A and B are shown apart, each in its own frame.
Chain A
C-alpha cells in the first residue's frame, strides 16, 4: 500500500543525473558556461536546503557561493560514485553548519544518544484539513536542531534515501534515523498544536 503522494520535485530522473554529471565534467574542464548552468540549476535547491538548516536568509547567498566555489575548484575530484546532488549537498551541508557557527549561537537540541525511544505516535490527535502551514512549520523548525532540520530537509524536500543522507552528513545511517525520529515527534507536536487540537 504505497502512499498516495506525488513528489513535488523530481531531482533524480536519469536525464537529470546525466545532465548534472556532464555539467560537472565540463566545469572541471574550465567551462564557465557549464558552471553557470550548474549554478543556476542548483541555486533554488541549495537556497531551500541551506535555509532549512540555518533558518535565516541573510547569509544564504554567501553560503551558496561558498559551496559553488568549492564545486568550481574541486569539480575534477568528483569521482561519479555518488549522485552529483549527493556530492554538492554534502558540501552545502558542512558549509551551512559552518554558517550557523558563524551567524548563530543555537543550543544543540540533538538527542542522538538517548536509549529510550518511544515507538508510538502522540495520542489524542485530531487532524484538521486547513492549517496555517507556515506558522506551524516556522515553530517546528525552530525547535529542531540544525542536524534534525537537515535530515527533514533531505528527506521531505530533497527526496533522498537515508543512506544518501548518511553519506552527505558523514554519519551512521542509524544516526540519520534517530535524528528523523525526534524531528518527526517535534513536527507532529507542532502540527497538532497549531491546528488547535
Chain B
C-alpha cells in the first residue's frame, strides 16, 4: 500500500505528465507553470518526456501545410488505386492502347473467346494436315478442318471454302474457279471467302481431298478447306 507521500508524488507526476503539452505551448497559468517547473527539476521521466514532446512540437511547427495536404491527398489516391485496380487497368487500356474497336466494355469471356478463335485460326492448317493422314476422329464433335470418311459424302460435304491471295487478280481467280468441276455458291464475303460446290456425282471424300490439295498447291490460293455448313445458308460471316 502506498504511503500518503508516495501517493502524492505519484499524483503530482501524473498531473505534470498530463500538463506537459500545455507547458510546451506556454498556455498554462502561472500556478500550473510553477508546478511543472518544480517537478521536472527532480523527475527524470518527465524531463525525458518533455524533451521528446518538445522535439515533436518543433517538428510539427516546421511542417508545411501544403506539403501535408499533398501527402494526405496522395495517400487518398493510393488507397483508391489499391481498392480499384481492375477499373484502373481497364481505363488505362482504353486510353493508352485502345485494343478494342468498340467503346463498350467487353467481359473477360469475350476477350478469351476472341483469343481462342485467333489461336485456332493460326494452328488450324497444321492440325488439318495431320488429321488428313489419320483415321477419322470419332465422337459427335467436328471441326472446320476435320476430314470425312468415304461414304460420308453428302451435299454439304461437297462444298469447299476458298480464299484467294491478295495479289490474285480476277483472271487468276476465274482460271482457278473454272478448273474446278463445280460452281460458285456464294462469295466473295467480306473476308474474301468463296464457297464452291463440287459437281461430280461420283465425288467422294478422296476426290474432294484431292481438289483441296490442288487448290492449296496453287500460289494464288491462300486458304482452302471443306465446308460442313454452307455460309450462304446461315450467314455466319458478313
Contacts and interface: CB of A to CB of B under 8 A. Distances in A.
Contact of B63 (A5, A58, A137, A159): A137
Given A56-B76, A142-B75, A184 B53 contact: yes
Interface of B: 13-14, 17-19, 21-29, 33, 37, 40-41, 45, 48-50, 52-65, 67-69, 71-73, 75-76
Interface of A: 1-3, 5, 7-8, 44, 47-48, 51-52, 55-58, 117, 119-121, 125, 127, 131, 133-138, 142, 152, 155-157, 159-162, 164, 177, 180-181, 184, 187-188, 191
Given A119-B14, A133-B62, A137-B59, A180 B72 contact: no
Nearest to A1: B37
A156 B60 contact: yes
Contacts, number: 114
B72 A51 contact: yes
Given A1-B37, A5-B57, A51-B68, A155 B73 contact: no
A155 B25 contact: yes
A181 B20 CA distance: 10
A162 B50 contact: no
A174 to B, nearest CB: 8
B57 A156 contact: yes
A134 B21 contact: no
A122 to B, nearest CB: 8
Nearest to B59: A133
A136 to B, nearest CB: 8
A157 B37 contact: no
